[in-house]
Amino acid sequence: MAKAARVKKSKSARKLHSRNVVQRKNTSLPMSVFDNVMKQFDAAARKLKLDKSLLEFIKVPRRSTIVKLPVRMDDGSYKMFTGYRVQHSIARGPAKGGVRFHPDVSLDEVQALAAWMTWKCAVVNIPFGGGKGGIICDPQKMSEGELERLTRRYVADLIDIFGPDNDIPAPDVGTGPKVMSWFMDTYSMKDYHAVPSVVTGKPITLGGSLGRSEATGRGVMLSVREAAKYLKLDLTKATGSVQGFGNVGSVSAYLLQDLGVKFTHVSDVTGAIYNPDGIDIYALVKHVAETKSVLGFPGARKVRPNDVLYAKVDILIPAALENQITATNAHRVRAKIVAEGANGPTTPEADTILNKNGVLVIPDILCNAGGVTVSYFEWVQNRIGYFWSEEEVNRRLEEKMVAAFHDVLRTSKENRTSLRIGAFMLAITRVIEVVHLRGIYS
């Protein structure tokens, strides 16, 4: 039994390592997801003539918490789960970021995602810092009761960290509105009244915001629309490809289809499909809801998953996992625009190759910031006790995303950098400005 357990643990560790680590070109040294975001930060910081000690202060997470969570399972046994919560920065406001339930969650990944949240919130200029959380578990293999007990244990053990003015979680991979409901209820027990502003991404009846479910995908669409204007690309004649047909990939695709984009390639975890005459995204959404796969969609043929990345299209939306475009395959990307729906889909080495080849990369901290922007709107509505129409939410989101895109574009052009470095320079400058104004308590 002990030997079998060790073998199982070893396989799990190898799987986790392979997901969170890519190999640097021409070297055996690994680059983790956290290394990725730190390298992006350093590239931007070198362009800024700022106090190096202050840069170091805002670069690394302020707090990383690891908790062991005992949970009673349905069979009466107890199982220990490992949970994380990272607050990367609280300079501009409360830490903001989702909680993911996934077998491959790691501290490295959570720290990277928390850092990206800091820069994302600064790019769209909302008063939040960056946070992220996660629990190592497989929600697909757990009952609803087990997931509820796990969620409540996680909140209870970290209850002094969370709060509407301290740290505001949201849904992420493996979590959703129901988990946020349990989260809100558990936290509310402490204050003896409902505290809806402690989390975002809640059901509408519990204080969630209209427009939140489409927000990240809508932000991707708005970013692509503005990029197309800049490149003088006619979207009614443009073609597209989507890697990852979850919420972000599907929403961004059908909203862009509404603007005239023809999608020829789509993939999800089950495989990839292709139709040179175009795939009806609305019909594909319905097909996936019924079959749980893009495969078998009428009129489309199955292709290799990587064909989605290498398709000769105008717009590529990587909306799956991190580290998908690397130094080993970036030269095969033929899109004019890469719109990062996922967090960290492109490595720093791949960025260099794409930029050299004239590909416009809309970085994740800009492109997929629509979700956290509407989360901010939800938090505001909870605090004032007044809720906006979906049209109002979408209008405010468009204002924020369009302003952010042009702020990043202007910074990029002034400093002759890529949009990613421009976005990081803008975000770092905004965080440093607040640090200067507030000072550092000593």
- 388 Rama class: left (phi>0) / alpha (psi -120 to 50) / beta: beta
Domains and CATH numbers, the chain: 215-367 (3.40.50.720)
> Which residues are the active-site residues?
132
Confidence at 442, pLDDT banded by 50, 70, 90: low
Q: Does the pLDDT of residue 413 top 90, yes or no?
A: yes
**The pLDDT value given to residue 404:** 98
DSSP-derived secondary structure letter, 197: G
pLDDT above 90 for 274: yes
Distance between CA 206 and CA 196 in Å, rounded? 7
Distance CA 227, CA 160 (A): 42
Query: In the predicted model, what is the mean pLDDT of residues 312-328?
Result: 94
90-99 burial, b if ≥16 CB within 10 A, otherwise e? Answer: bbbbbbbbbb
Hey, how many other C-beta atoms are within 10 angstroms of the C-beta on 271?
A: 15
What is the side-by-side order of every strand in the sheet holding 301-303? Answer: 301-303, 271-274, 262-268, 239-243, 315-318, 337-339, 360-362
User: Model confidence at 32, in pLDDT bands (50, 70, 90)?
Assistant: confident
Mean pLDDT, all residues of the chain: 92
CA-CA distance, 58 to 102, in Å (whole number)?
A: 28
Q: What share of the chain is helix, strand, coil (3-state, %, to 5)?
A: 50, 15, 35
Could you tell me the pTM of the whole model? 0.90
Contacts for 50 with CB less than 8 Å, ≥ 6 apart: 428, 432
pLDDT tens digit string along 90-112?
999 999 999 999 999 999 999 99
Instruction: Look at residue 18 and tell me whether its pLDDT is greater than 60.
Output: no
Which helix (H) or strand (E) segment is 338 a member of?
Answer: strand 337-339
Q: For strand 167-168 and strand 95-96, is the pairing parallel, antiparallel, or unpaired? A: parallel
CB-based contacts of 103, cutoff 8 Å, min separation 6: 12, 15, 16, 136, 137, 138
**Residue 295: Cβ-neighbour burial (10 angstroms; 0-12, 13-18, 19+):** middle
The stretch 121-137 carries a mean pLDDT of 98
Residue 11 has pLDDT above 70, yes or no: no
In angstroms, rounded to a whole number, what is the distance separating the alpha carbons of residues 54 and 349? 26
Q: Is the pLDDT of residue 6 over 90?
A: no
pLDDT at 52: 84
pLDDT tens, position by position, 343-358:
999 999 999 999 999 9
Position 22 pLDDT exceeds 80: no
Residue of 83, 106, 87 whose CA lies nearest to 97: 87
Q: What is the DSSP string of 264-296?
A: EEEEETTEEEE-TT---HHHHHHHHHHHSSSTT
Structure tokens at 276: 């040179």
What's the pLDDT tens digit per position in 355-388? Answer: 999 999 999 999 999 999 999 999 999 999 999 9
> Reduced to 3 states, what is the DSSP secondary structure of residue 223?
helix
